[in-house]
Structure 1
Amino acid sequence: MKKKPLHNKKNKFTRKQFIVLIVCIATGFMIGYSYKLTKDEVKVNTSYLEQEESYREDLISQKERNKELIEELIALQTKRREYEKTFAENEEDYDHLLQEADKLRLLLGEIPAYGEGIRVILKDSEYDPNSPNPNDYIVHESHVFAVINELKISGAEAITVNGQRIKTDSFIRCNGPVITIDGKQFPAPFVIEAVGDAKALHTSLKIVGGVFDQLLNDRIVVTIEESSLIEMPSINDNDEGVS
């Protein structure tokens, strides 16, 4: 007579226990994977924050250095002018040279300018529903250039556009309703001021077939005013206003 095999109840693995085991393993895996993702994300965010803070500190440091350089430049220019005045007091011939040097500095924008002159205001014309192209009735850099060039030819000693001093190498670019001058944006209307012989500058702009007539043909609203006193900053004063 055969004996039935003995079953060890302690080693018997039920289906319910197997399912519980699978669930526990899956849960542990998900918890571990979630923890790893969270840890990696924290590391990435921390890295970005540290990099952003580093860039911010570099920018602040660079701005402070620029300010120091501007102050140093102004001090050197002032010292140079003091030397020139000393030389001019010792020799009468230097007086003429000093005047010529001041004229050059005015053209370069190194010193503030003031005196009689004119003010030219350029405005966009009113919207024309019959014109499909909005560029047909707004002020462009070509219009600003035309006025500036005519003023220079007519003997303007110094020129500003919306308070920004124009240098010999100034860059002007149109971008829709605004223009950019040496990296700074200015909206319309555009106020162009020039120091010089007011009547001569006014006459040169309004000569028949000249700049004034061309602007009117382009439907630009133009206003020209003579002034007994126009004051404008140097290029260094403009740079100090940058924040």
Structure 2
Amino acid sequence: MHVRRFNPSGIEAFRKFLRTCRDAPSTPTPWELLESDEFTSLTTETIEIDSRSFDSRREAAEYLHAKLGIIRAESLRYDAGLWTWLSLFYFDQICPAVAGNRKVRNDYTYIYMPRESRYFYRHLLFVSWYVQHIAPSHNRLLLDGPVSQLDRFTAEVIKRLYLTRIPAVFEVLDRVYWDESTKRAFSGVTSPGKVKAGDLLHRFPIRIRQLEKTYDLQSLTADQLIELLGSEFQQIR
């Protein structure tokens, strides 16, 4: 199918479906909206995409980058109509039905709200593409999960724009928090309860804010930044 984008009426029609589906989980998906001239328009660039499954956010990110690469990244960041249309196109992937019923999450999970919104990173397809865009390497902590969920680690990193603007931060995160034995982040580093030495949820953001008052974090290598973080971040293992 050729990629299209929802107009405001199309977004509202999709929102209405989400609301109905929360109350009646077996509500049929309105696939007809995808090619409706009333609710959508073709993108200026001719882009064809396939109905397919994604085993991980990484697969989704790589596929979307390949297909949408003809569009400027800066334009994609603000294109609510396109990302919301893609949510409906891949709705079986991001909101899978179990025994014919779907568990529909908050609207911002499927309806993209651009970067001015505090929820921009919550959109499941956008966040996959965005992580690949800003962190083409050292991204296994953020892209190896299922496309139908947003894990706590990814959410805590991406919502803090001051972190993602530091060039070395993704390599630092990978070296500090990746547990080679479990192939995931170390246990407890995103727990909302008691503060844990070197954790991601509390201590890492605080330490970065402290360091940026004295150092130009934009110019530091991963080795330099890890050294400045201090011993508590070397004891997580």
Q: How would you bin the TM-score normalised by the shorter chain?
A: under 0.3
Larger radius of gyration: 1
TM-score by length of 1: 0.22
TM-score by length of 2: 0.22
